[in-house]
Amino acid sequence: ASTWASVKMGPPDAILGITEAFKKDQYEQKINLGVGAYRDDAGLPVVLPSVIEAEERLLKSCLDKEYAGITGISNFTKLAADLAYGEESIVLKEDRLAVTQTISGTGALRIGGEFLKKFHPSTKILLPQPSWANHAAVFRSSGLQPETYRYYNKETIGLDFEGLIEDLKNAEDGTAVLLHACAHNPTGVDPTPDQWKQISEVVKAKGHFPFFDMAYQGFASGSIERDAFAVRYFVEQGHQIALCQSFAKNMGLYGERVGAFSLVAESSEEKARIESQFKILVRPLYSNPPIHGARIASTILGDAQLKAQWLAEVKTMADRMITMRQLLKDNLEALGSTQNWDHVTSQIGMFCYTGLSGEQVDELAQKWSVYCTRDGRISIAGITSGNVKRLAQAIHEVSK
């Protein structure tokens, strides 16, 4: 028998299954709302002009391809930290932020999970219910036990704030809690600034460990500052947070795998100890991170003019999604839908929880060639001014 005869077929990835079904569909006006990447109004992937410019500059400067350090390109990690925490942040001024470059946001989560497992007393991490599908797997692979706290209220298609606070209060003191910094995936539902303040208070009172995942900075509202509100507020309140950053969405650098993981330390001396342990974690995993994407990001972030251009491009992407939300809602209302679609525009980011059931999603695919995940999540990036009318009609027909 083969050495691998006992290896069982694993279950297919839910999102990839949608892509497969979409590809097979012969209908010309089919719509794919499963994609987790930005598309322009023609439905095409985008390489930002600021990224092209940065790549041209890099090519001209004829850099070598030597290895980066274990924790990455230091100019990149510095600029990434400035972007997230704000250049004026006290933790940066006092040189007490431990940072490492990571394999995009997923790699940041994994390094964070490994660090917690090794050095934090909490054996579990609380995830919002629901959360990004990969969170539980990442933390389980790091040896932590993922559990959940209430987050989404099906009835209101909004935040279950009371449930969230109650679950954080009832959790054992000192538990690690994963928080989506902005543009919660998959629901698109974020706490308000005032609710963040209350979450901060509970987290502090319970001695919980706030672990932020920020995969969409700037991409949610169009403003880097606004999307960083929760992270910066927690830091101001004296929390020693963990932060995962990804440049996949906001720079469109998906496949380049550009990210960072950081921990707020109490002192510069403590920061040095933490960074020494980042190296010990990273070295046997992948030795050191890839350089090209990090060079692109640091070229953009390190040049005032190019950074300004990029910020405008981020805003253009965010604005297109905000416009598509509005158009979808307007079209549903124009068709005479009697349902309340306010959540389509009150939610933020690339994803929208429509409130459609699994059966309604099946009907969308079968009758309308409209594809999305069975939890009713649609990717706003898949909507264009050319397909929004037909999409609204399809959603209206299956939800009547």
Q: Which is nearer to ligand PLP, 134 or 357 (CB)?
A: 134
Least Å distance, CB 54 to ligand PLP, is: 18
Helix ranges (DSSP H) in 237-375: 268-286, 292-301, 304-334, 342-346, 358-368
Query: Is residue 249 among the annotated active site residues?
Result: yes
Q: Binder to ligand PLP among 171, 182, 242, 248 (CB under 6 A)? A: 248
Q: Which helix (H) or strand (E) holds 122?
A: none
3-state helix, strand, coil in the chain (%, to 5): 50, 15, 35
Helix, strand or coil, per DSSP, at residue 149: strand
Active site residue 194: no
Report phi then psi at 263, rounded to 5: -130, 135
Nearer residue to ligand PLP within complex by CB, 253 or 281: 253
Q: Which is nearer to ligand PLP, 106 or 399 (CB)?
A: 106
Phi and psi (nearest 5°) for 271? -55, -45
Number of H helices, E strands in the chain: 16, 13
Of 185, 187, 217, 379, which lies in the binding site for ligand PLP, with binding defined by CB under 6 A? 185
Catalytic residue among 160, 167, 190, 213: 213
**Quick one: which segment of 12-20, 103-111, 150-158, 332-340 binds ligand PLP (CB under 6 A)?**
103-111
| C-alpha 254 chain-centroid distance | 12
Of 106, 217, 221, 399, the one binding ligand PLP by CB under 6 A: 106
Give the nearer residue to ligand PLP in terms of CB position, either 112 or 222. Answer: 112
Write the CB contacts of 94 (distance below 8 Å, at least 6 apart in sequence).
267, 268
Span from 100-108, 117-125, 303-311, 357-365 in contact with ligand PLP (CB under 6 A) = 100-108
**132 is a contact residue toward ligand PLP (CB under 6 A):** yes
SS (H, E, C) 185-216: CCCCCCCCHHHHHHHHHHHHHHCCEEEEEECC
Query: How many CA within 13 A on the CB side of residue 334?
Result: 12
**Binding string, 265-294, against ligand PLP, x = CB under 6 A?**
------------------------------
Determine, following the binding rule CB under 6 A, whether residue 36 of this chain makes contact with ligand PLP.
Answer: yes
213 is catalytic: yes
Asked if residue 142 binds ligand PLP (CB under 6 A), the reply is no
Q: Residues near 344 by Cβ (< 8 Å), separated by ≥ 6? A: 325, 328, 329, 332, 352, 354
100 is a contact residue toward ligand PLP (CB under 6 A): no
In the list 53, 160, 213, 313, the residue contacting ligand PLP (rule: CB under 6 A) is: 213
Q: CA 12, 31, 156, 215 torsion: positive or negative?
A: positive
Of residues 229 and 341, the one with the C-beta less far from ligand PLP = 229
Total number of residues that touch ligand PLP (CB under 6 A) = 13
Give the active site residues.
132, 213, 249
Residues that bind ligand PLP (CB under 6 A): 36, 104-106, 132, 180, 185, 213, 215, 246, 248, 254, 259
